[in-house]
Amino acid sequence: MAMRSHVRQTQHRPRETSDARVSVVIPTYNSRAYLLQAIESALDQTLPPAEVIVVDDGSTDGTSDLLAPFLKRIRYQRQPNLGVSAARNAGLAMATGEFVAFLDADDFYLPGKLASQVEILQSGLRLAFVHSGWRLVDAQGRPLRDVEPWWEAPKLDLLAWLRWKPAFPGALLFRRGPLARAGGFNPKLKHAEDVDLMLRLGLLGCKSVWLREPTVCYRQHSRNASHAKLAQATGIVEVLTAFYSRRDLPRVVRRKEAAVWYSTYVWAAWGLYREGLFQQAEEYLQRSLTHAKGVRGIAALEWAGAFSRFATREGGDAATLTAAIPVLLKAAPMEAALTPIVETALRFRFEALDGFFSGGNIPDTADLADYRTLTPRQVVKTAQSALVSAASPVGVSRVAQLWEKVMGAGLVPRSAGHEVTTLYLTLFSRSLFTRQWRAATEAGWRAVRVGLHPRALPAWGRFFRSAILHLLYRSSGEGAAAAVWGSARPQDRRAAVPR
């Protein structure tokens, strides 16, 4: 299903899209405060839609009166309150366009959304849909930050939908035919209905690509469905349970089942933690371990990487995640003697490394001295783990700057300067995965330059060993951090922190 991604901004109406017919479906339920902005953002596209269909899902806030002046410009249908999936399906049944876009009533499109995505769908690649990024805005519509899911899931294939779940209906544009063949949204689901749809499209073999730019603004306010984290977590478990009960799954998907469940439980735990449901977050983290036995000893460090990535994606400050350390430690099985070491490593990561790899400043030398109880190897491994799970691109200069700082603070002696080879090799692998060819070349060249030293041979050995471990164990649910922190043999994969 995966195809290459498209990167560009469309500033005008492309000539080849002049005959495109796009149906925009807007389900609404008591969203009077935001609905007009949503409708206007659809009508004012640089490529105007053929029709805007508003499905009123039993609103009681005077929505029908509000829309009276727009009835000559939109198609309006009112139905009993059946839920957002039923409302979207009703709009899909009414749609006459070749392409269909969805827009929640409290969100709004950026002006070039339809033109940019239609142009890609008409490119001859036989695509069923195009996905894009989205922009988080506050309740008043003011920009907060852009979400760019392609850094985690550069290939939009079935495994990406399972592992990363980057679904957001407002950021998608579909061909109507494949969408109808998939059956639309499941009205029985109250949560994760978008993930369920994307999985069904994936099983149909539908091809898709990324448009690597935001096309829609996702409003953050107290009524967002995403705030019902416990119900959302239950919903995604329900969807995956039904999915894996099917007998027609491809072999590669069946092999990755443990990895999918592991990442899903950690993702759900993050949402629960963010909502202050700490006990439930611990429970979901512990559930993840049943699908990733190889990471039991390093669980807190593995989870820290995921939490940091999620927090950065949502515009949060990784330093605030120090409050999550008690949750991570309580949920993770480890020997009592290792707890203070892991706690220091977690603080080093949250307070110093994650923010730096996201573009911030690294703490002063005096502040870095707080982590001197870590051995040089533990410093390197913690930095490597943070680099693996960074939520945005990291340049070679960042690694070099970090290394000078930790050596200046005495965390790593000058005699161990060759250990930075590990970080350059990690950046090389990460850049290859995200298809940043120039960054991969720079990191690989820097690794060769600093790694041509007898003392750097262990770093090369660990690099190849970790790559092999990742290939061998990733089907069991272990992530990149497991390969980073693990030992060479399965029976030795018990220590939480390398000595």
Pinpoint the alpha helices (H) of 156-248: 158-163, 176-181, 193-203, 229-244
The answer to whether residue 278 sits within a structural domain is: no
**In-domain check, residue 277:** no
Read off the pLDDT of each residue in 435-449 and give the average, rounded to a whole number. 87
Asked if residue 343 and residue 195 are part of one domain, the reply reads no
Listed range (80-84, 178-182, 316-320) with the worst mean pLDDT: 316-320
- In the predicted model, is pLDDT for residue 469 greater than 70? no
Q: Model confidence at 466, in pLDDT bands (50, 70, 90)?
A: low
Predicted confidence at residue 298, as pLDDT, reads 77
Q: Which of 104, 80, 95 is nearest to 27 (CA)?
A: 104
Task: Give the pLDDT confidence score for residue 322 in this predicted structure.
Answer: 93
- 219 and 352 housed in the same domain: no
Which of 223, 252, 271 corresponds to the end of one domain?
A: 223
**From 2-16, 156-170, 259-273, 401-415, the region with the lowest mean pLDDT:** 2-16
Q: How confident is the model at residue 295 (pLDDT cuts 50, 70, 90)?
A: low
**Residue 202 domain flag:** yes
User: Does some domain include residue 275?
Assistant: no
Same domain, yes or no, for 87 and 192? yes
Predicted confidence at residue 474, as pLDDT, reads 46
Higher pLDDT, 15 or 121: 121
Quick one: 160 and 306 in the same domain? Answer: no
33/167 same-domain check: yes
Residue with tokens 């709009």: 91
d(CA 294, CA 341): 20
Q: Would you say residue 229 lies in a domain?
A: no
Does the pLDDT of residue 280 top 60, yes or no? Answer: yes
pLDDT value, residue 293:
62
- The arithmetic mean of pLDDT across residues 220-244, rounded, is 84
- Give the CA count within 13 Å in the CB-facing half-sphere of 110: 25
Q: Note whether 1 and 207 are within 8 A (CB).
A: yes
Residue 327 predicted with pLDDT over 60: yes
DSSP bridge pairs for 56: 28, 78
The whole-number average pLDDT for the span 78-98 is 97
What pLDDT does 223 receive?
Answer: 67
Within-domain flag for 64: yes
pLDDT at 490 over 70: no
Average pLDDT over residues 410-427: 87
pLDDT band at 82; cut points 50, 70, 90: very high
If one counts the domains in the chain, the total is: 2
The most confident of the ranges 178-192, 218-232, 345-359 is 178-192
Q: At what angle do helices 437-451 and 396-408 cross, to 10 degrees?
A: 40
Binned at pLDDT 50, 70 and 90, residue 482 comes out as: very low
- DSSP structure class, residue 66: H
Burial of residue 131 (number of CB atoms within 10 Å: 0-12, 13-18, 19+): buried
Point out which residues pair with 174 in neighbouring strands: 100, 129
| Final residue belonging to a domain, choices 223, 249, 278 | 223
Is there a domain that residue 499 lies in?
Answer: no
Has residue 480 got a pLDDT over 70?
Answer: no
Clarify whether residues 360 and 218 are in a common domain.
no
Residue 227: other Cβ atoms inside 10 A: 14
Higher pLDDT, 136 or 488: 136
Tell whether 303 and 214 lie within a shared domain: no
Q: 85 falls in which pLDDT band (50, 70, 90)? A: very high
- For residue 234, being part of any structural domain is answered with no
Q: Does pLDDT of 150 surpass 50?
A: yes
- Choice between 92 and 367, residue whose per-residue pLDDT is larger: 92
Whether 168 and 300 map to the same domain: the answer is no
* Residue 188: pLDDT over 90: yes
- Per-residue pLDDT, 435: 77
Distance CA 305, CA 498 (A): 17
* Domain range enclosing 311: 292-492
Mean of the pLDDT values across residues 26-31? 97
> Rounded to an integer, what distance in angstroms lies between the CA atom of residue 210 and that of residue 479?
24
- DSSP symbol at 6: B
* Of the listed ranges 95-99, 136-140, 468-472, 476-480, the one predicted with least confidence: 476-480
State how far the Cα of 375 lies from the Cα of 340, in Å rounded to an integer.
Answer: 13
Q: With bands split at pLDDT 50, 70 and 90, how would you rate the model's confidence at 460? A: confident
Q: What's the rounded Cα separation, in Å, for the pair 454 and 31? A: 66
Q: Which of residues 223, 244, 264 is at a domain's end? A: 223
